[in-house]
Amino acid sequence: MNVIAIFDIGKTNKKTFLFDENYRIVWEKSTNLAETTDEDGFPCEDINMLKNWILDQLTELKKLSEYKLRAINFSTYGASFVYVDEEGKVLTPLNNYLKPYPKVLKENFYAKYKGEKKFAVKTASPVLGSLNSGMQIYRLKEEKPEVFEKVKYCLHLPQYLSSLSTHQYFTDITSIGCHTSLWNYKKMRYHKWVSNEGIITKLPPIHNIEVTIKIENEISVGIGLHDSSAALIPYILNFTEPFVLLSTGTWSISMNPFNDTALTPEELQKDCLCYLQYKQKPVKSARLFGGNEHEVQTKKIAKHFGLPEDFYKEVVYDKVIISSLRVSALKNYFSCQDQNKILRESTFERRNLNDFKNYDIAYHQLMLDLVAQQILSTQLVIHNSPVKKVFVDGGFSKNSIFMNLLAQAFPEMEVYAASMAQASALGAALAIHDSWNPKPIQNDLIDLKFYKH
């Protein structure tokens, strides 16, 4: 059986999948790798352990007699640079994007390049410190010039993992376009600071992610891509009518591939950004820390009512409870002065759990508060675009309360819970379809469940 292997690398879970020519998963394996610490004692990915795990997996996959490995690709989390020397040897730990960024260095940088606001608008990147991965390169150059001198290439994580098989070095547009502060979205090229600081020569050439490199005469290897952009690919290939994808997990990210209006300073302040699609088109997006908020607040409810932490999995949508809560919960939500506040923090944070008769009512209130935030966040990317459909994938797509409330909030839209096996991994496989798969791409890769408003 002809298969493609996809390495889907999250910060917590590392997964390997084999897809057949119909994009069904026929084999999978996952692991969690222990973190290490960088030179400052800050927790980070152990890049050597990850490298060895990938190479071991590839050896194992090639030995599976029932499968013929035709292609390999990579989908990984973003905002992580690997620095290699002439021989491809890694020069530094893989710095964590949550690592605090030095205040003076940050101030000096933005003072040089017309201030935070203008710079953020040009690069479609909110100012996020180490999460702007270009700022990690700048930090290395300023703080460790002797190490920077030895760097031959700065590689985003997917391209480094790909190079382990191909020994070739490339840059991919989806990684550059993900809040890196490297890309000038107006001119659709690197921002001038990348040349000014002598960094551009250390970024390998941009490569079309649909074009693969052949190894061992028969295996096509992709250069990898950023996981959020990969997750969008199955939707772009399956649907031509304008849609917004609400991808939910720890972050809830609303992505609109049909909105190419430039970001405003106000939108950037509300955590809007742009991703670059694999076809180099900007995707206007808005982030909300929704899954994290849900986790924090459900733990509080569980503790208060003496329940197991996953109690909410048994709670089903109750329209009577929602009706009784709705008037007080929503009456002040959409006045202008409240919007920024609601986006920054969930109203539930300030609620007293003693006010709720039981956990059912408390949980419905939490979902009302979360959806109120989500409406504001998603509207930021729907505004002034022709979207008529909202697809929700990830954790909240399985939550009947969330889905019903969202459908009611967008009566002019069709709201669907979408489910498919492993969206990022599937997107990475589909990105290089033509290089290994003789069959046409099916149009039933995504299961949809419609929610009436």
Q: Which domain holds residue 384?
A: 227-419
Across residues 331-350, what is the average pLDDT?
68
How much is the pLDDT for 328? 63
Across residues 368-377, what is the average pLDDT?
94
Q: Are 280 and 188 in contact (CB under 8 A)?
A: yes
Q: Are residues 35 and 90 in the same domain?
A: yes
Across residues 103-119, what is the average pLDDT?
96
Across residues 3-19, what is the average pLDDT?
94
CA atoms lying within 13 Å on the CB side of residue 219: 19
378: tokens are 């998603």
CA distance 347 to 331: 13
Q: How does pLDDT run across 375-414, given as a tens digit for each residue?
A: 999 999 998 899 999 999 888 999 999 999 999 999 999 9
305 Cβ contact list (under 8 Å, min separation 6): 311, 353, 358, 359, 362
| 357 domain residue, yes or no | yes
Question: For residue 160, which of 77, 100, 218 has the smallest C-alpha distance?
Answer: 77
How much is the pLDDT for 333? 45
End residue of a domain, out of 169, 194, 223: 223
Q: How does pLDDT run across 164-219, given as a tens digit for each residue?
A: 999 999 999 999 988 999 999 999 999 999 999 999 999 999 999 999 999 998 99
CA distance 7 to 15: 6
According to DSSP, the β-strands at 153-156 and 81-84 are antiparallel
Q: Are residues 268 and 412 in the same domain?
A: yes
How much is the pLDDT for 169? 98
Across residues 95-104, what is the average pLDDT?
96
Q: Are residues 274 and 382 in the same domain?
A: yes
Q: Are residues 200 and 268 in the same domain?
A: no
Question: For residue 127, which of 139, 137, 141, 115 has the smallest C-alpha distance?
Answer: 115
Whether 341 shows a pLDDT value over 80: the answer reads: no
CA atoms lying within 13 Å on the CB side of residue 198: 9
Categorize the per-residue pLDDT at 82 as very low, low, confident or very high, splitting at 50, 70 and 90.
very high
Q: Are residues 39 and 185 in the same domain?
A: yes
Side chain identity at 112, as an amino acid letter? K
The percent of residues in the chain predicted with pLDDT above 70, rounded, is 97
Q: Are residues 232 and 207 in the same domain?
A: no
How much is the pLDDT for 397? 93
Question: For residue 156, which of 84, 50, 58 has the smallest C-alpha distance?
Answer: 84
How much is the pLDDT for 193? 98
Average pLDDT, the chain: 93
End residue of a domain, out of 199, 223, 247: 223
Q: Are residues 36 and 114 in the same domain?
A: yes
The four Cα atoms 110, 184, 11, 265 give a dihedral, to 10 degrees, of 60
Q: Are residues 111 and 200 in the same domain?
A: yes
CA distance 369 to 342: 9
Q: Are residues 213 and 278 in the same domain?
A: no
107 Cβ contact list (under 8 Å, min separation 6): none
Q: Are residues 27 and 159 in the same domain?
A: yes
How much is the pLDDT for 249? 82
The CATH number covering residue 120 comes to 3.30.420.40
Q: Are residues 194 and 259 in the same domain?
A: no
The residue assigned the tokens 């798969």 is 437
How much is the pLDDT for 236? 93
Categorize the per-residue pLDDT at 453 as very low, low, confident or very high, splitting at 50, 70 and 90.
confident
φ, ψ dihedrals at 319, nearest 5°: -70, -25
| 361 domain residue, yes or no | yes
Across residues 41-50, what is the average pLDDT?
97
| 445 domain residue, yes or no | no
Burial (CB count within 10 angstroms: exposed 0-12, middle 13-18, buried 19+), residue 432: buried
278 Cβ contact list (under 8 Å, min separation 6): 173, 174, 209, 210, 225, 229, 233, 431
Across residues 58-63, what is the average pLDDT?
96
Q: Are 252 and 291 in contact (CB under 8 A)?
A: yes
How many structural domains does the chain have? 2
The Cα diameter of the chain in Å comes to 68
251 Cβ contact list (under 8 Å, min separation 6): 287, 288, 289, 290, 291, 292
Q: What angle do CA 243, 246, 247 make, to 5 degrees?
A: 130
Beta carbons within 10 angstroms of residue 194's beta carbon? 23
Q: Are residues 219 and 239 in the same domain?
A: no
Q: How does pLDDT run across 235-246, given as a tens digit for each residue?
A: 999 998 999 999
